[in-house]
Structures are given as C-alpha cells and as structure tokens.
Amino acid sequence: PAVEYGLEAPYRIEYHDAIASTNARARELAKAGDADVVVLANEQTAGRGRLDRAWNAPSGGVYLSVVLRPEMAPMEAPLLTLAAAVATTRALREAGVDAGIKWPNDILLEFTGEKLVGILTEMEGEADRVSWVVCGIGVNANVDSEDLPQGATSVREQVGDIDRRAFVQRVIEEFDTLKGDPDAILDGWREHAITLGQRVRVETSRGAVVGEALDIESPGRLVIETDEGEVRVHAGDCEHLRPV
C-alpha cells in the first residue's frame, strides 16, 4: 500500500524530521496496540544504544524503528536483530559500501572496522509469547564523520550521499522477507559476518570469554572455541566484543 512517506513498504511509515528517539516513539505505539509501523526520522535528539549508552544521530542519517507483534517467544527475538543486520548490510552493499556484521548488533566497514550502523531490539511479553518487539536501526547515512564519535564512519564518507528513501525501502523489504525465516536469517548473517573466524574476547557480566568465533546459532548465540571447549554466548549477555 502507498504510504505517507511515499514508500511501497509493507508497513505504515510515520516520518519525523526530528524526534527524541524512534525506538521510544515505537514503544509508545506498540504499547497502544499498534503493529506493522515503521517510525522513521532524519534526526534524533536522544538516540539510545544498548545498556543505556547514547547513540549520536545527527540530521541526514537513517533512524528507523519497526513495530512488530510476531508470534514468537521472547527468547527468539534476537533473530530479528540478526534479520535487521542482514537486511541493512545488503542495502549498504548494494549502495557500494563494504559493510559487514560484527556480532551481535553492529555493522562495520569491513576493512577498517569503523562503525556504520547500530541496532537495538526491545520487547515486552510473557514467557512463551512476546506482545510486541521494536527493532531500531541507526545508519550513519548522509552525515559528516566529524559529527560522529571516534571509530565511526558514514555512507557519505565512503561513497557519497545516497537516496535515503530508496535505501529505507530496500531495508524494510529485505527485513520483511527475512523475518519469518530463521534459516535464511542465519545464512545471510554468516554470509556477511566479520566476526566468524576471528579470535575474540567477549565481556559478559559473568566474566570474559576468549577464543575463536566458530559459528552463529539460533536465535543469535555465538559459538566460541575456547581453551576449555566450546562456549555459547547469548547476544543479550554480550557487553562488549573485540578481536584479540
């Protein structure tokens, strides 16, 4: 269906020139019973990352949050974060950006490791069934890298400005195609993963896990070969990952 923003997307688009946080607005909509809405903004004044970290969101970026009411258990929801990462990486690569996925929720420039995209999934629900999921994606699109933190880069800096409307359309379409297909999500993730094959150190609240990242498992666990054998780390338990 045609929507206000001019996209042929499978979701209604609610566009804001500037907003505190698209995830915060999406949570409001979700709690009010809405579903299949994408909150989209050109700029965020109080963007948020994981673990209460801040997300810099200057004008010219792509900040979007998808509101879903999927039939899934809360423990499966990390699959949607992976789906968002695969969809966004594909759209970036089609735009000529050498993007790859760092577990669990970052998209980086492959060769330098600079961060291009962050993803934040939030949800509410019972033990066996989520009531809603909000999947937020922040892309450093048409922004100057001077307006970003150290270690970040933008699409503008890599390949010049892109048509954000076409880009958002691609991300949403690809996300929608992937979201009900765990095998396609995991295969897409492996195809674009930077982390697999790397020796990594993952900080969790129960200590660090060090070893080679072997594979990803549903719904988003990283399998790490340590000196003591294979260890599986849940995406939600990762405070920080760095190659060592």
**The amino acid at 216:** I
Backbone angles phi, psi at 136, to 5 degrees: -105, 135
CA distance 237 to 244: 19
Which member of 140, 158, 169, 195 binds ligand BT5 (CB under 6 A)?
Answer: 140
Q: Count how many residues are written for the chain.
A: 244
The correct pick among 10, 49, 113, 236 for binding ligand BT5 (CB under 6 A) is 49
The binding track of 23-42 with respect to ligand BT5, each residue x by CB under 6 A or -, is: x-------------------
Enclosing H/E stretch for 164: helix 164-178
Identified binder of ligand BT5 from the candidate list 11, 13, 14, 21, rule CB under 6 A = 21
String marking each residue 187-226 x if it binds ligand BT5 according to CB under 6 A? ----------------------------------------
Token match 């190659």: residue? 243
Nearest distance, CB of residue 36 and ligand BT5, angstroms? 17
DSSP 137: E
Residue 22 binds to ligand BT5 (criterion: CB under 6 A):
yes
Mapped onto helix, strand or coil, the DSSP state of residue 214 is strand
Interaction of residue 136 with ligand BT5, rule CB under 6 A: yes
Nearer to ligand BT5, 113 or 225 (CB): 113
Q: CA 229 → CA 89, 172, 212, 214, 225, distances in Å?
A: 31, 39, 11, 12, 6
Residues engaged in binding ligand BT5 (CB under 6 A)? 21-23, 44, 47-51, 53, 55-57, 63, 65, 105-106, 115, 118-120, 136-138, 140, 148-149, 152
